[in-house]
A and B are shown apart, each in its own frame.
Chain A
Amino acid sequence: MTESMRVPLPDALDFLGLDAQLTDEERLVRRTVADFVADRILPRIATWFEEGILPRELAQELGALGVLGMHLHGYGCAGASAVAYGLACLELEAGDSGVRSFASVQGSLAMFAIYRFGSDEQKERYLPRMAAGELIGCFGLTEPDFGSDPSAMRTRARRAGSDWLLSGTKMWITSGGIADLAIIWAQTDDGIRGFIVESATPGFSARNIEKKLSLRASVTSELVLDECRLPADALLPEARGLSGPLACLNEARFGITWGAMGAARACYAAALEYSKTRVQFGRPISSFQLTQAKLVEMALEVNKGTLLALHLGRMKDAGTLHPSQVSFGKLNNVREALAIARSARSVLGANGVTLEYPVIRHMNNLESVLTYEGTSEVHTLILGQAITGSSAFV
């Protein structure tokens, strides 16, 4: 018997058989999140996207599922491995990048900032309710004039007795308008520091950015901090300098490396299925060489990107992952996901421009994913510096 007779044909959507590389526990995480997405997200996402909303109740549903801060230990969090966290991001983003963004910001940016840099008291106070989705957090680093270069931020916190007075404007803040608390990064006499700002604080206001054509099922807001008076214990004691927010971003970028492949897989799956049933010139379009070339390209990059994510995940769990390797994953996987989405869009012809199919929704979403958490240019510069030793940022 030849090899090919004994070994079954690979699954088109998991061509490299990566599922078999997972532990039973990881597979159960993946399957659970995938079931949740199929039941709770997919039937409703096109409407949310069209209406530009993300229902607040989703936070509690995600909390009950246990994905919010799932890779943190204690405080009501699951204490899952990096790979399990990545798989959850992948399945959530196979639903929609907006839903995954919500979970990333909650777990990897807001909760992680408190978990890593907060006092025990801050952790006890916020983390269990954030894990349950009862409290929503956001993460304010970017400002209207400072995106890729946050070190020059203008938001400032000054001492006022034992309190702090915080002023400035943050821009493009995911979940800002629905948040109960914001992690705000600000200049102080002691360099950049992080603060937990409850949205009920006088002087805190949020304005949602409505006219966006990407990540529509996600709230994006401008936050205005007008002389917000914060108690001394609003300061995150352990974060000093830009390394604080960058550590949080590193967590979220790791999740995006996986998530992008979820969106890509959804586009590839939609294109593959559509191509097998759409008949032109008397034959399914999947039988044309040009269509096959597109589908094969998608299959190659989805499988390679997922393999890369898994590899980085195993390294993260082993404690050997360098932040520049996360840049490698984010740069490659988001870029390839976007290329896959655009190609899948073309396979669907006119149907590809509608919300009846997930493809153009993913395609538009991925434009944001390409920009946030470090643009592709920024990750190229990080990698350029890592391999050459010279910084080309300025």
Chain B
Amino acid sequence: MKIVVTVKLVPDPNAEKRIDPVGMRLVRSGVETVLNPYDEYALEAALQLRERLGGDTTVTAFSMVPESTKETLRKALAMGVDDAVILSDASLAGSDTWATAYAMAQGLKKIGFDLVICGGLADDGSTGGVPGALAEYLGVPGLTNARHLEIVDGKLHAQRETDSGYQVVSGALPALVSVTMAVGEPRYPSLKGIMGAKKKSIATMAPADLGLDRAVGSDGAKTELLAIAPPPARGSARVVEAADGPTGAKIIFDFLKEKKLI
């Protein structure tokens, strides 16, 4: 069983985000690059599956990144992933969701997989569009927002989170899932894992290896970024005064009810 986890590298989510006003892109220099936190859940789900399935199950991390940042993937290897592959080339810069998913799908086909696991979202762009688009390009079932995964008799079973609960769904392999944070807290890489990670391989593939028949990067993007703006400042809060606790509780209750929140 071959599991491939897609991993994006993003600027440290704890650092302040700055946008370059001219290029309208997130400033990535001067900020530490880390694994997209949502992808750490995907890695955790994959490692748990490998532990349960045992045998010759392997987990590969796959990332579309500039060559210069690939060492950040060591953390995934230190967590226990078997190996990593990056898709890297200057021509990929500026890819939008569509171009990213197209290029990555060709990479995934080349690597080969039984199951692709994605994080639900990237902390930097926050479009959340790649997993669905990837499944489409790969022509495999795409089960998004899974909170639990199981493989029984070669079939994938997942619980899909919805607003009101979860759906129990299944699909034939090969398949793609994206996971939510309910799959379990990502493990810390162990120090032994960190020491072992340097012996694991991070292979590089370029678009030229993939025989792409469409443009990628900014040339292949179907969306165009027209403008950026900070979110509007929040209006000032409404302050209500209440004589005592129960009266205050009633005011809050009525407010929530009016907004149809309860």
* A 75-109 to B, binary, CB cutoff 8 A, 1 in contact else 0: 01111100010001000000000000000000000
Asked whether, in the complex, the Cβ of A78 is within 8 Å of the Cβ of B194, the reply is yes
The answer, yes or no, to whether B190 is at the interface (CB within 8 Å) is yes
A288 to nearest B CB, angstroms?
26
Stretch at the interface among A28-36, A157-165, A223-231: A28-36
The answer, yes or no, to whether A168 is at the interface (CB within 8 Å) is no
* B 19-31 to A, binary, CB cutoff 8 A, 1 in contact else 0: 0000000000010
Asked whether, in the complex, the Cβ of B30 is within 8 Å of the Cβ of A66, the reply is no
Asked whether, in the complex, the Cβ of A70 is within 8 Å of the Cβ of B191, the reply is yes
Chief secondary structure at chain B's binding surface: helix
Asked whether, in the complex, the Cβ of B194 is within 8 Å of the Cβ of A28, the reply is yes
Query: In the complex, A66→B194 CA distance in Å?
Result: 10
Other-chain residue from B71, B190, B195 in contact with A64 (beta carbon distance below 8 A)? B190
The answer, yes or no, to whether B75 is at the interface (CB within 8 Å) is yes
The answer, yes or no, to whether B160 is at the interface (CB within 8 Å) is no
Q: Note all chain A residues with C-beta closer than 8 A to B74.
A: 24-25, 28
Other-chain residue from A8, A24, A76, A79 in contact with B71 (beta carbon distance below 8 A)? A24
Asked whether, in the complex, the Cβ of B191 is within 8 Å of the Cβ of A66, the reply is yes
Asked whether, in the complex, the Cβ of B195 is within 8 Å of the Cβ of A79, the reply is yes
Q: Note all chain A residues with C-beta closer than 8 A to B71.
A: 24
Asked whether, in the complex, the Cβ of B188 is within 8 Å of the Cβ of A65, the reply is yes
* Chain A residue at smallest Cβ distance from B185: A39
Asked whether, in the complex, the Cβ of A25 is within 8 Å of the Cβ of B188, the reply is no
Q: Note all chain B residues with C-beta closer than 8 A to A266.
A: none
Asked whether, in the complex, the Cβ of B30 is within 8 Å of the Cβ of A29, the reply is no
* Chain B residue at smallest Cβ distance from A85: B191
Query: In the complex, A78→B197 CA distance in Å?
Result: 11
Asked whether, in the complex, the Cβ of B189 is within 8 Å of the Cβ of A28, the reply is yes
Q: Note all chain B residues with C-beta closer than 8 A to A70.
A: 191
Asked whether, in the complex, the Cβ of A65 is within 8 Å of the Cβ of B195, the reply is no
A276 to nearest B CB, angstroms?
15
Asked whether, in the complex, the Cβ of B75 is within 8 Å of the Cβ of A78, the reply is no
Q: State which residues 70-97 of B face A: CB under 8 Å.
A: 71, 74-75, 78
The answer, yes or no, to whether B198 is at the interface (CB within 8 Å) is yes
B47 to nearest A CB, angstroms?
14
Asked whether, in the complex, the Cβ of A32 is within 8 Å of the Cβ of B191, the reply is yes
B132 to nearest A CB, angstroms?
31
Other-chain residue from A8, A24, A35, A84 in contact with B191 (beta carbon distance below 8 A)? A84
The answer, yes or no, to whether A67 is at the interface (CB within 8 Å) is yes
Asked whether, in the complex, the Cβ of B195 is within 8 Å of the Cβ of A32, the reply is no
A38 to nearest B CB, angstroms?
10
Q: Note all chain B residues with C-beta closer than 8 A to A77.
A: 192
A25-B74, A28-B74, A28-B75 known; A65 and B194 CB under 8 Å?
Answer: no
A25-B195, A25-B198, A79-B195 known; A35 and B188 CB under 8 Å?
Answer: yes
Asked whether, in the complex, the Cβ of B189 is within 8 Å of the Cβ of A32, the reply is yes
The answer, yes or no, to whether B193 is at the interface (CB within 8 Å) is yes
B79 to nearest A CB, angstroms?
10
A8-B30, A24-B74 known; A29 and B188 CB under 8 Å?
Answer: no
Asked whether, in the complex, the Cβ of B194 is within 8 Å of the Cβ of A25, the reply is yes
Query: In the complex, A54→B30 CA distance in Å?
Result: 39
Asked whether, in the complex, the Cβ of B191 is within 8 Å of the Cβ of A80, the reply is yes
Q: Note all chain A residues with C-beta closer than 8 A to B191.
A: 29, 32, 65-67, 70, 78, 80, 84, 88
* Chain B residue at smallest Cβ distance from A70: B191
Asked whether, in the complex, the Cβ of B78 is within 8 Å of the Cβ of A28, the reply is yes
Query: In the complex, A286→B197 CA distance in Å?
Result: 43
Query: In the complex, A327→B194 CA distance in Å?
Result: 30
Q: Note all chain B residues with C-beta closer than 8 A to A29.
A: 191, 194
Q: Note all chain A residues with C-beta closer than 8 A to B75.
A: 28
* B 196-232 to A, binary, CB cutoff 8 A, 1 in contact else 0: 0110000000000000000000000000000000000
B44 to nearest A CB, angstroms?
14
Query: In the complex, A65→B193 CA distance in Å?
Result: 9
Asked whether, in the complex, the Cβ of B195 is within 8 Å of the Cβ of A80, the reply is yes
* A 135-175 to B, binary, CB cutoff 8 A, 1 in contact else 0: 00000000000000000000000000000000000000000
Query: In the complex, A28→B194 CA distance in Å?
Result: 7
Q: Note all chain B residues with C-beta closer than 8 A to A76.
A: 192
* Chain B residue at smallest Cβ distance from A81: B195
Asked whether, in the complex, the Cβ of B192 is within 8 Å of the Cβ of A78, the reply is yes
Can you list 12 A-B contacts with CB-CB less than 8 angstroms, sorted by A residue number?
A: A24-B74, A28-B197, A29-B191, A32-B78, A32-B188, A64-B188, A65-B190, A67-B191, A76-B192, A78-B191, A78-B195, A80-B195
Contact residues of B with A, CB < 8 Å?
A: 30, 71, 74-75, 78, 188-195, 197-198
Contact residues of A with B, CB < 8 Å?
A: 8, 24-25, 28-29, 32, 35-36, 64-67, 70, 76-80, 84, 88
- In order of increasing CB-CB distance, the 5 nearest A-B pairs are A66-B191, A66-B190, A78-B191, A78-B192, A24-B71
